[in-house]
Structure 1
Amino acid sequence: MKARLIRNATLWIEIEEIKILVDPMLGQKGSLGPFPWTEDNRANPLSDLPFDSEELSKIIQNTDFVLLTHLHPDHWDEAAQQLLPKDILIYCQPIDEELVRTSGFTRVIPVTNEITYKDVSIIRTGGKHGLGKIGELMGEVSGYILKTKNESLYITGDTIWCEDISNALDIHNPEYIIANGGGARFNIGEHVTMNGEDIKTMAAYTGSAYIAIVHLDAVSPVREDRELLKKFLSLHEITQNIIIPDDGAVIFN
């Protein structure tokens, strides 16, 4: 298995020679503008893609399918909808199928529980994109287990630490985990993605799994950047089997 962080939660996964583009936010720096429910007026995304348009075109051309955890613009932006071929295969959570189709995509398959693409099982998991009012505003989100006979990867999606996560870990015992961190927070309620304490809890719970923390330094609601998270993990002696990759970096290989 090979996994690469592109930016934010956008991932390039190669497993059993199958190439998967996860949560594509492909627009230029600032193309999304400021986000709501925050006093931060910076235009999102806060950084450019880590490569040029030629490499992006190659990635798109080589993609076997797109995997969407949910449709917030930092996971599925207008640029991605314009750049991706309308006949590309897309897997998404059932609640998002119709909206993806209204953007002109013709091969959209909802993952209710589990589906198989060639030798890879795609298993949808739950999550909580915040609690209370902000959780309601954020809406439904999913994560996914990608599993073959030999290895398994858990993509948590946008969620805080919750029973959905511990259940997924108990049931599937993944070797690799890619978790969305940053402790993103708006003016309403508490954090909506994992913060350092959540990651600390998850790392203790999983034991030997290799963990990569993404969703950092790319959008304005994120409160914990890479440097802060590295210091937090070091302070709590959580450095074994956990990485915080830069944009463009290979995570697992």
Structure 2
Amino acid sequence: MRIHFIRHATFVLETGAGRVLVDPMLGRAGTAPAVPNTPNERPNPLVELPLGDGELSDLLGSTDAVLVTHTHNDHWDGRAQELVPKDAPVLCQPEDEDKISGAGFVGVSPVVSEFEWNGLRFARTGGRHGTGEIGARMAPVSGFVIRAEGSPSLYVAGDTIWCDEVEEALNAHRPDVIVVNAGAARFLEGDPITMTAEDVAKVCRAAPESRVIAVHMEAINHCLLTRRELAEELDRQGLAGRVEIPVDGEILETPS
């Protein structure tokens, strides 16, 4: 299994059963407005894609399917909707089927509980995109566990904080690899809506045998936790060797 991390929550998962593009946010730096009501008002994305136009075209041309965990703009933006072929298989949570189909995509498959496609098995998991009223407004969001014959299992936790649903997914699926969306994204009011450093530490302790990869940092204006800050806190808690924090464009290999 190979994970080609692109930027923010966007990556390509490659297994023997095919290549899946996860949560494509493909816009150029500064072309989208800042997330409002946040401490940092810079336009988004904060950084460019680590791919030239030709590389991006090659990546999209070699992608077999797209997985959209939810349709917030930093996971499924306008440029992705322009560039992803309209006949590409797109898997999503049921609540987003009409929105994605309404944008002209003809191969949309909602994952209600479990779904099998081309040798890849997808199981949908729950999550909480924040707490209280903010969490309710940000819902729904989903995570997905992906399995393929001969490859490690991968849990894409999605936009969630540490919560009962994440713990339940870890216990039920026991994934080999976990991708968590960190960044401690937040608004001026309320608690963080994606994982903090402490949340990532809780994932490590709940799944001591799993490989943990932390993404979703330094690309969107309301994600305030940096890679360095996350690494420093994990080191303080004795977990530095448990979490990989890739830079944009990095390729991570996992033996079968």
Pick the TM interval, shorter chain. Answer: over 0.9
Partner SS state of residue 240, structure 2: coil
What is the aligned partner in structure 2 of residue 190 from structure 1? 191
Structure 2 CA distance for aligned equivalents of residues 2 and 202 of structure 1: 21
What is the aligned partner in structure 1 of residue 232 from structure 2? 231
Q: Does 1:104 align with 2:104?
A: yes
Deviation at 1:148? 2.3
Structure 2 CA distance for aligned equivalents of residues 70 and 36 of structure 1: 19
Question: How many residues in Structure 1 have an aligned counterpart in Structure 2?
Answer: 253
Deviation at 1:118? 2.1
Q: Aligned letter for 2:240? A: T
Instruction: Work out whether residues 17 and 120 of structure 2, in 8 Å CA contact, stay in contact via their aligned partners in 1.
Output: no
Using the aligned pairs only, state the percent identity: 40
TM-score, structure 2 normalization: 0.96
Partner SS state of residue 59, structure 1: helix
What is the aligned partner in structure 1 of residue 176 from structure 2? 175
TM-score, structure 1 normalization: 0.98
Deviation at 1:252? 3.2
Structure 1 CA distance for aligned equivalents of residues 180 and 159 of structure 2: 8
Q: Aligned letter for 2:16? A: E
Deviations 1:136-155 (A, max 9, x none): 22120001000123420000
Structure 2 CA distance for aligned equivalents of residues 238 and 202 of structure 1: 11
Unpaired runs of 5+ in structure 2? none
Structure 1 CA distance for aligned equivalents of residues 35 and 223 of structure 2: 11
Unpaired runs of 5+ in structure 1? none
Q: Aligned letter for 1:169? A: L
Root-mean-square deviation over aligned CA pairs: 1.0
- Report the CA distance shift for 1:56/1:31 in structure 2 as closer, same or farther (over 3 A): same
Deviation at 1:40? 2.2
Structure 2 CA distance for aligned equivalents of residues 131 and 4 of structure 1: 31
Instruction: Work out whether residues 16 and 120 of structure 1, in 8 Å CA contact, stay in contact via their aligned partners in 2.
Output: no
Deviation at 1:69? 0.5
Q: Does 1:119 align with 2:119?
A: yes
Partner SS state of residue 154, structure 1: strand
Q: Aligned letter for 1:159? A: T
What is the aligned partner in structure 1 of residue 67 from structure 2? 67
What is the aligned partner in structure 2 of residue 20 from structure 1? 20
